[in-house]
A and B are shown apart, each in its own frame.
Chain A
């Protein structure tokens, strides 16, 4: 089975801190994605990457950046955490053709910014 691993299940950070969320997949997938999920708003795409060192903005990239130095790892960076970035963050991966077959998600990181 494809495994997508997010480094932390729960994280508490202070306003203004730089925060790194890590995601690693073990199936050689080209595509990787970062979403956030909030009650009533559903999943919203922050950034995605379809190759090493490539990145594309999603619907809500403001306040975030990403890094894809290796194929298996896709990092989400909150440059200066703010309370409105408190959310559940979900990483996902897929092969390009498997955009027709769906994603595999990591188990999520619940981030609280205080």
Chain B
């Protein structure tokens, strides 16, 4: 089952660029949504939760569109240190406590 789908990329962008990732989910009853960041050979770490009203944390903006069942992450003024894989994560209401992870979108920011 592909409950969470993301474009795997890679997205290669120059420093300072704005880049956006999208993610779609299949379960319309899903309760909560997240973006995680994963550096090469490291564990995933929570980047931000995604709220219905949209939310911003510095250069990062997350949006949720429940009607279309997609989530987006916008990164402004990209830094070299933003290079990582970004995982879209969904908490479906019917699977108990287990989150569903997308396969991730790879971002490479170049000088």
Contacts and interface: CB of A to CB of B under 8 A. Distances in A.
Interface of A: 31, 33, 35, 40-43, 45, 48, 50, 56, 58, 90, 94, 96, 99-108, 110
Interface stretch (B37-45, B53-61, B62-70): B37-45
B104 to A, nearest CB: 6
Contact of A100 (B31, B87, B96, B101): B31
A108 B42 contact: yes
A45 B98 contact: yes
A42 B104 contact: yes
Given A45-B98, A50-B96, A100-B31, A105 B43 contact: yes
A33 B98 contact: yes
Contacts, number: 55
Given A100-B91, A102-B34, A102-B89, A94 B43 contact: no
A61 to B, nearest CB: 12
Residue with the greatest number of chain A CB neighbours at <10 A, chosen from B44, B87, B104: B44
A10 to B, nearest CB: 11
Shortest 8 CB-CB contacts between residues of A and residues of B: A42-B103, A105-B43, A43-B101, A102-B46, A100-B32, A99-B97, A31-B97, A102-B34
B98 A58 contact: yes
A108 B96 contact: no
A100 B46 CA distance: 12
Contact of A107 (B43, B46, B104): B43
